[in-house]
């Protein structure tokens, strides 16, 4: 796959940094002899969504963990371009690619409109009110074509 540049910043740099993050994640995850299934790209994509709204120390920490030397705007644009290019594979019937992104807003918490705009524009993510675990689990089940039917319990949701 050939990646193009966004605002003079190569998408390849973002891909390389994602790979660095993935290898560090695998090293940390597989320290013990255990069976684990994870998607480093999904994790870095999700953390990039958080990075888009982070400020000050939180932004600096996420930038460090994710190996970014990009500013947040360039990072957003790079991920949007990577998504656009990955979506080119959707026409290939030999490849099944699906991604679903969302932010779940708890009652009495506020998500800034500017952040919601960034999530929509760059990450194709929506913000949903979180009413109960069933709502989240139902959304996940639909988005994964029934492959994942439970991702959070009511108890875990209450503790979050």
Each residue of 102-131: pLDDT tens digit?
999 988 888 999 999 999 999 999 999 998
- Identify the pLDDT of residue 4: 45
pLDDT at 9 over 70: no
Per-position b or e across 140-155, b if 16+ CB within 10 A of its CB: beeeeeeeeeeebeee
Using CA atoms, how far residue 89 sits from 6, 35, 80, 95, 97, in Å, is: 20, 29, 15, 7, 7
**Spans of all domains in the chain:** 5-91
- As its CATH architecture, domain 5-91 has 2-Layer Sandwich (3.30)
Per the prediction, the chain carries an average pLDDT of 85
- Identify the pLDDT of residue 70: 63
Residue 37: band (very low, low, confident or very high) from pLDDT cuts 50, 70, 90: confident
Is this prediction's pTM over 0.85?
Answer: no
Average pLDDT estimate for 86-92: 81
């Amino acid at each position: 796959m050939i990646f193009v540049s966004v605002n003079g910043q190569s998408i390849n740099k973002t891909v390389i940094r994602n790979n660095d993050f993935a290898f560090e994640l695998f090293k940390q995850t597989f320290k013990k002899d255990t069976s684990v299934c994870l998607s480093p790209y999904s994790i870095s994509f999700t953390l990039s969504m958080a990075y888009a709204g982070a400020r000050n120390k939180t932004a600096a920490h996420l930038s460090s963990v994710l190996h970014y030397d990009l500013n947040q705007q360039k990072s957003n644009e790079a991920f949007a371009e990577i998504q656009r290019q990955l979506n080119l594979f959707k026409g290939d019937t030999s490849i099944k690619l699906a991604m679903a992104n969302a932010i779940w807003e708890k009652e009495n918490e506020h998500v800034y409109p500017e952040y919601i705009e960034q999530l929509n524009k760059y990450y194709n993510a929506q913000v949903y009110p979180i009413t109960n675990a069933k709502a989240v689990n139902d959304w996940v089940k639909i988005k994964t074509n029934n492959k994942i039917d439970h991702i959070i319990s009511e108890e875990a949701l209450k503790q979050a």
